[in-house]
Structure formats: structure tokens, C-alpha cells
Amino acid sequence: MTKVVHEKSELRAACDAVRASGGRLGLVPTMGALHDGHLALVAEARRRGATHVALTIFVNPLQFGPNEDFDRYPRTLEADVARCRDAGVDLVFAPPRDGMYPPGFQSEVQVTKLTTRLEGAFRPGHFTGVTTVVAKLFMLAGPCVACFGRKDYQQWKVIERMARDLDMPIDVVGMPTVRESDGLAMSSRNRYLSTEERERALGIARGLRAAHAAYGAGERDAATIAEMVRSEIAPRFDSIDYVDVADADTLEPFPSAIEGRAVITVAAKIGKTRLIDNTVLGEDACP
């Protein structure tokens, strides 16, 4: 039976009760509009020993810029709770905005170096909003295994760094991107796309696929691989924020040749819809 709570005190009490009974807590923070990628995180928490899983649903205003899609971001709580019941989620935490940020709220949590590039450069303040809300959720939930999708690769690395630097008793897990059968990364924002835009969006998967093929054939020049990806995206998208090849751990760009583990990250827009994706060369499944 899935219990739905809206107050922070209820979340804290429920999580404390799990540990008091000898259980292990799994935490899956989301903004709702759930899809199979989110439910894969629930399954991963179970696989890692969670006896109880709490899933949070909160469209966090702090991580949206003034010209972004906060107002139109899909809010589908009733359907989300139904999916949680089917997936065996024990607790859904869906707080109101003023429950998370009461009047007079003025504190924030920042990670510095990891947030300066990529999403951090194109969305100023975004990661401060992410780390602030996730830090609050971690403190409310307490010791647990917290699962995040690696589609938001930089976000995962930032949260991992925050938990490590601040000695939070949280096991932060990054799960591989869950994709549609044609390679499109699952995202709550995919529902914005028209049928024609949905087809164009496959340019990202095609680009990442080409990068995997080139890397497998021995190509190691970062600029060459980035251009392969860009050439598939550019004709299909209206604009590209970045196509980047970087160290998979530090997110620092390679000056020329790839040395060690490399992640390709992409952000591009079709109409008003901004999509992101990534792949770790030589490790992730080819999109």
C-alpha cells in the first residue's frame, strides 16, 4: 500500500520508522510526470537492499530560470501515485511549495567547480536550486540509498560530490539512462514534442550512436567525435547549446585526445523544448 504524505514531519517520521524497525530506506527524488526511467530507479533501490522506498514529487522552482518551463512543467500527481502503487513504492512525498520554502527562506547549498560548465553555464543558478532541494530531502530522509538517473549526468555528479563533501550519510547511485525502443532518452519533457518534433529529436541518439561507432573503431580526437555528434543534431534541431566531450568523472574537457573515461553530453532545442542526453564512450550501451 502506497502512503501519500505532504508534510515534512510526516516524511521524516516515516523514514525514521523504517530504520528503527531494522529496514533500509531507498529514496527516489523526482519532479513527477513519472515514466519508466523513474520506476527503474525504484527497482534499483530495491536491488540495493532497500526494504522500503520513498519517492518524492516536487517541481522545484529554485532550479528553473525566469524564461524556462516552470509554469508548464507537467504536474500529474494522481497518475504518478497510481504508477507508484503499481511499482510497489511505499511512500510518496508531495509537499506544497511553501512547505519546502516557507516565508523568509534564504539558505542555499552550492557546489562550485563542477557546476561552472555545461548546464551550469547555460542555466545560471540551476544547480544551486538542485543542490538546495536535494540537500533538504537528504536531511529529511536521513541515511538511505538515493537513486538518480544518469540522463542528467552532470546533476548526478554534482549531487554525488555534495553528499561526499558534506559527509551526508547517503549512498548516491547513478543509474544508466532508460531509452525508448528507438533510442530517445526517456524524459518528462518528451510529452511537449509533436509527432514531427519527436522524430527530429532522434538526431541526438543518432549522433551518440555515431560517436560510439567511431570510438570503437579507434577514434580518440575529442573535437572529431564532437563534430560527428553535432552533424547529426544540427539539421534536425533549432539550436544547440552544447556538444561536449569531457572526462567522465571531473567533467573537464579534453584539450585534444581522449585519455581515460569520456562522457559526451548534449543539450539542444526543438521549438520551446530543450532536451539533454549523454553517453559514456566504451561503457554505456549504444543508444
**47 assigned binding-site residue:** no
Is 52 annotated in a binding site? The answer is no
Query: What residues are labeled active site?
Result: 38
Q: 150 among the known binding-site residues? A: yes
Say if CB 43 and CB 112 are below 8 A apart: no
- DSSP strand pairing (91-93 vs 52-57): parallel
Q: Answer yes or no: is 100 a known binding residue.
A: no
What three-state secondary structure class fits 178? coil
The reply, when asked if residue 37 is annotated as ligand binding, is: yes
178 is in an annotated binding site: yes
Is 188 marked within a binding site?
A: yes
Residue 119: which region, alpha, beta or left (left: phi > 0; alpha: psi -120 to 50)?
A: alpha
Round the CA-based radius of gyration of the chain to a whole number and report it.
Answer: 19
22 annotated to bind ligand: no
Which of 89, 126, 96, 99 lies closest to 111, judged by CA? 126
Q: Was 36 annotated as part of a binding site?
A: yes
Q: Is 189 annotated as a binding residue?
A: yes
Q: How far apart are CA 116 and CA 214, in angstroms?
A: 29
Sign for the CA dihedral angle at 158, 160, 161, 163 comes to positive
Give the strand order in the sheet containing 239-247.
239-247, 262-270, 273-280
Q: 33 labelled as ligand-binding? A: yes
Q: Does 32 appear as a known binding residue? A: yes
What is the distance between the alpha carbons of residues 16 and 59, in angstroms, rounded to a whole number? 25
Pairing label, strands 239-247, 91-93? unpaired
Which residues does the annotation place in the binding site for ATP? 31-38, 149-152, 178, 186-189
Which residues does the annotation place in the binding site? 31-38, 63, 149-152, 155, 178, 186-189
Which residues does the annotation place in the binding site for beta-alanine? 63
Which residues does the annotation place in the binding site for (R)-pantoate? 63, 155
